[in-house]
């Protein structure tokens, strides 16, 4: 979501601070039919599933460069994985989603952010590039905990 937040800021949205544990991103942005910027929020449910307020799904889809709901249901064959990888790097930048350190083919893997066991979809929005090690550390944490772990790992180095 860091990449998405950066993209929002770049596109003129005013980034807010989440007011509770279920908010993943909160921002002010112009919306059709409103004179003033409107609060937009993306929530993560207990299960980790993302819930999009009106307008936010479209923003996120634009950010990902995907039309419609971004559903990519086809099987993850090798070429698909490679193209996913390129799209994830285009979105998040290079490096592990958790620790931010660079990855190599030997150390990296493409992981579900919300595990399939928790209803996480096979969509680009739900995949990140991460070290196998870092991902193992995260295990089956819910999205909120993963984000906390990520902040912790990155904060620890700063
Ligand atoms: Zn890592």
Transcribe 44-72 into DSSP letters.
E-TTS-EEE-TTHHHHHHHHHT-STT---
Sheet hosting strand 14-15, strand order edge to edge: 14-15, 23-29, 38-44, 50-52
Number of domain units in the chain: 2
Q: Residue 80 has what pLDDT?
A: 52
Q: Residue 156 has what pLDDT?
A: 67
pLDDT digits (tens, 9 = 90+) for 58-68: 888 777 764 33
- Higher pLDDT residue, 78 or 93? 93
Tell whether 32 is covered by a domain. yes
Q: Residue 81 has what pLDDT?
A: 53
Tell whether 152 is covered by a domain. yes
Q: Residue 74 has what pLDDT?
A: 32
Can you give the CATH number for the domain in which 114 is found?
1.10.30.50
Which domain does 141 fall in, by range? 78-157
pTM summary value: 0.49
Cα 26 to averaged position of ligand 1 atoms, centre (Å):
26
Cα(76)–Cα(74) distance, integer angstroms: 6
Can you give the CATH number for the domain in which 41 is found?
3.30.310
- 49 and 109 both lie in a single domain: no
Tell whether 72 is covered by a domain. no
**Which contiguous run of DSSP H or E holds residue 91?**
helix 78-92
- 99 and 146 both lie in a single domain: yes
Q: Residue 59 has what pLDDT?
A: 85
Cα(109)–Cα(103) distance, integer angstroms: 9
Cα 67 to averaged position of ligand 1 atoms, centre (Å):
30
Tell whether 71 is covered by a domain. no
Model confidence band, residue 77 (pLDDT cutoffs 50, 70, 90): very low
3 CB-contact burial (10 Å; exposed 0-12 / middle 13-18 / buried 19+)? middle
Cα 96 to averaged position of ligand 1 atoms, centre (Å):
5
Tell whether 73 is covered by a domain. no
């Amino acid at each position: 979501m860091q990449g998405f937040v950066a993209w929002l800021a770049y596109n003129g949205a005013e980034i807010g601070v989440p007011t509770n544990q279920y908010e993943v991103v909160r921002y002010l942005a112009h919306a059709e039919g409103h004179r003033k910027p409107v609060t937009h929020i993306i929530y993560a449910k207990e299960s980790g599933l993302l819930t999009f307020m009106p307008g936010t799904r479209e923003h996120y889809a634009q950010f990902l460069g995907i039309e419609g709901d971004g559903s990519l249901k086809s099987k993850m064959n090798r070429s698909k994985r490679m193209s996913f990888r390129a799209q994830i790097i285009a979105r998040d930048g290079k490096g592990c989603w958790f620790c931010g350190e660079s990855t190599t083919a030997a150390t990296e893997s493409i992981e579900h952010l919300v595990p399939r066991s928790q209803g996480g979809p096979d969509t680009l929005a739900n995949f990140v590039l991460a070290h196998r090690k870092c991902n193992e550390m995260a295990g089956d944490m819910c999205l909120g905990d993963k984000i906390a772990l990520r902040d912790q790992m990155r904060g620890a180095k700063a």
